[in-house]
Amino acid sequence: MSIFNIFSKKKGPEEDKQETREMLGQKREHFFARIGRAFAGKSSLDDDFLDQLEEILITSDVGVETTVKVIDTLTENISRDKYLGQQELNDRISEVIAGLMPDIQEPVQSDFSLATASKPYIVLVVGVNGVGKTTTIGKMAWQYAATGKKVVLGAGDTFRAAAVDQLGIWKERTGAEIISHGMNTDPSSVAFDAVKYGVENAADVVIIDTAGRLHNKVSLMNELAKMKRVVQKFQPDAPHEVVLVIDATTGQNAYEQARNFTAATQVNALAVTKLDGTARGGVVIGVSEQFNIPVKYIGLGEKAEDLKLFDKKLFVQSLFQS
């Protein structure tokens, strides 16, 4: 059965944006309502409101460092005695937070069209076990396939049987080719062969899964660095996209994961999964700002089309505006 019979038809940009806005709006209560209550009865910034705003942001997993920057920037831009309405306050907070989050930079592509990317466009996906890494890869493959792209998947998480099996399922769903050497084989060899196959068969995109856990942290990070070097033998500018997958429900653990993986390889995009499973979700803001990594994907549900391209202005407005 074709993937297009299993999943909904891919939506147009405006329809997809509206759906994203509605899905994110379900999280608005945690941010907007608490900020609104903190500002109730006030007409200007004061210490009491700023203290409450700080608490709201920190308890929403935005992180201490990013929260301090939000507060400092807000007070620098708004005079303490300036009259503020609720909507203006929401707008200002939205602008400050959006301004702290970096934008996608080349060679990372901002959508699934790959209009300006060299072929094959090579994506290395990293993250600890349990964050939804392999599922995210499958959803990415579906998104690319839905735009007519030829996709190759590299089953590089060779230390976890379920990961190889999962990619096999997505192969059937998307029509993608899968390169797998089975369990307990060399992940770098899988990466090399996946890129080689992609080059020789004119693939548009090669997406490579990686191990989420080895016997110790050092060996894991060394393996990731090795995989990057191996794919560069076939394509010197690869990987074009190194995606770190983090789980929005893990809170502060996501920061430690980002710290470890950015030390091992040059992460240049974030995928934040399971946003539908938390009313907090501040890690989207905090990890992106603290590690200067743009968010490219957010996961808002189990369906393939629930992996959304990230729009930071839409995201912040959905959380902070009524």
**Are the C-beta atoms of 234 and 206 separated by less than 8 Å?**
no
Angle at 104 (CA atoms; ends 98, 110), nearest 5 degrees: 115
pLDDT digits (tens, 9 = 90+) for 147-167: 999 999 999 988 887 888 888
Q: Which residues does 159 contact at the CB level (< 8 Å), separation at least 6?
A: 183, 184, 187, 211, 213, 214
The mean pLDDT value for 18-23 works out to 63
> What is the DSSP-derived secondary structure letter of residue 129?
T
**Topology (CATH level 3) of domain 23-100:** Four Helix Bundle (Hemerythrin (Met), subunit A) (1.20.120)
- What is the C-alpha to C-alpha distance for residues 67 and 61, in angstroms, rounded to an integer? 9
Packing angle, helices 283-291 and 64-77, rounded to 10: 90
Rounded to whole angstroms, the Cα distance separating 167 from 78 reads 51
Which burial class, exposed, middle or buried, applies to 258 when counting CB atoms under 10 A from its CB (0-12, 13-18, 19+)?
Answer: buried
Dump the DSSP string for 181-207.
Answer: --TTS-HHHHHHHHHHHHHHTT-SEEE
Q: Does position 183 have pLDDT exceeding 60, yes or no?
A: yes
Q: Is the pLDDT score of 8 beyond 60?
A: no
pLDDT, residue 105, reads 93
Give the count of alpha carbons within 13 A of 187, CB side only. Answer: 28
Q: What is the mean pLDDT of residues 49-75?
A: 90
For the record, the structure tokens of 222 come out as: 């060394």
At the topology level, CATH places domain 121-312 in Rossmann fold (3.40.50)
Tokens 């998104």 -> residue: 143
Closest CA to 98 of 322, 315, 318, 297: 315
Tokens found for residue 214:
């080895």
In single-letter form, the type of residue at position 127 comes to G
The letter for the amino acid at 45 is: L
Statement: residue 206 has pLDDT above 90? yes
> Would you call 16 exposed, middle or buried from its count of C-beta atoms within 10 A (0-12, 13-18, 19+)?
middle
- Any idea what the Cα angle at residue 145 is, between residues 141 and 148, rounded to 5°? 155
Of residues 40 and 95, more confidence is placed in 95
Q: Does 3 score more than 50 pLDDT? A: no
How many Cβ atoms from other residues are within 10 Å of residue 3's Cβ?
Answer: 17
Dmax over CA atoms of the chain, in Å, equals: 66
pLDDT tens per residue, range 217-230: 778 778 888 898 89
Do 286 and 57 touch, CB atoms closer than 8 A?
Answer: no
pTM for the full predicted model: 0.88
pLDDT band at 279 (very low <50, low <70, confident <90, very high): low
CA 245 to chain centre: 6
Averaged pLDDT for residues 160-177: 85
Q: How far apart are CA 137 and CA 207, in angstroms?
A: 7
**Which pLDDT band holds residue 126 (cuts at 50, 70, 90)?**
very high
Distances (CA, A) of 293 to 13, 55, 92, 196, 268: 24, 24, 23, 28, 6
Domain residue spans in the chain? Answer: 23-100, 121-312
Closest C-alpha among 266, 264, 260, 227 to residue 243: 266
